[in-house]
Amino acid sequence: MKKVKHAIERQKTLREQIVESIKESIATGKLKPGEKICETKLAEDLGISRTPLREAIQTLEAEGFLKVVPRKGAIVSEYSKKDIEDIYEIKATLEGLAARLATKNLSDEEIYHLGDINNQLKSMSLKNESSVSRFFRVHNQFHELFLRASNNERLYQLNCQLMEPFKRFRLSSLAIPGRFEEAIAIHDEIVEAFRSRNAQMVETLVMQNVREGGKALLRKLAIEESER
């Protein structure tokens, strides 16, 4: 009997489902920076007990989405404009370097797979069938592939360490109208640059992609702040 190669998607635990739901609310602006999480109301809205909700809050605090303040409870994390600019610039530099190193390491098959992942994103965007969180997961596969292909473990780990608080920013950035399409378009250019083995162009495009996401997020936060 031949080995079955198809992976079976693991069913998410209740805690994971709660985490994803709260992340989506933060990314789409339903929960705003500085807003207090009312555990009782949220548990009631989600139809759950407070125990798994508290477990989810611990996870979200570790990932930088929430901040737990003694005697106040969980609050949606706030970051200054400078914080965001700094994080995006560091991410642009690290990811750009990883992409440049990956240019000589990626196989033709892996580059084809990058294009295939981006085609999945296009399909999700055109059908308008995807939540931000689902689009984000597939989007991450695109970046993860060339980050791994840098063959530089220290650089990869630095990217991962930055990723946890950065996840919130990227998720929020992708929730901005039109950002899906912008990301997909520049991914096409990145794939073409990988195909031509143009390391300098790959690095430039990847850095541009990160910075554009940062600019879009700052615009969104400025609008939200003016509406408070």
State pLDDT tens for residues 63-90. 888 999 998 899 998 888 898 899 889 9
> Do 135 and 61 have their domain in common?
no
Any idea which residue has 């909700």 for tokens?
Answer: 53
CATH number for 126: 1.20.120.530
Q: What is the pLDDT of residues 32-61, one digit of tens each?
A: 888 999 999 989 988 999 999 999 999 999
> Facing residues of 109 across strands?
none
pTM beyond 0.85, yes or no: no
1 band by pLDDT with thresholds 50, 70 and 90: very low
Residue 110 lies in a domain: yes
Domain count, the chain: 2
pLDDT at 130: 59
CA distances from 103 to 92, 97, 146, 154, 189 (A): 16, 10, 8, 18, 14
pLDDT band for 128, please (50, 70, 90 cuts).
low
Q: How far is CA 39 from CA 28, 30, 49, 73, in A?
A: 19, 15, 10, 9
**4 found inside a domain:** no
144 pLDDT band, cuts 50/70/90, is very high
Q: Tens digits of per-residue pLDDT, 191-202?
A: 999 999 999 999
Task: Report in angstroms the alpha-carbon separations of 122 from 115, 116, 117, 128.
Answer: 10, 10, 9, 10
pLDDT of residue 135: 84
The answer to whether residues 34 and 144 belong to one domain is no
Same domain for 90 and 126, yes or no, is yes
Distance, in Å, from the CA atom of 118 to the CA atom of 141, rounded to the nearest integer, reads: 9
The 10s digit of each residue's pLDDT in 159-189 is 887 776 666 677 777 777 788 888 899 999 9
Q: Do the beta carbons of residue 165 and residue 177 sit within 8 Å? A: no
Same-domain status, 56 and 117? no
Do 195 and 98 lie in a common domain? yes
Is the same domain home to 120 and 208?
yes
Contacts of 14 (CB under 8 A, 6+ apart): 48, 52
Residue 69 phi, psi (nearest 5): -105, 130
Domain holding 85, by residue range, is 81-226
Boundary (domain end) residue, out of 60, 76, 92: 76
Q: Mean pLDDT for the chain?
A: 86
Answer whether residue 2 is part of any domain.
no
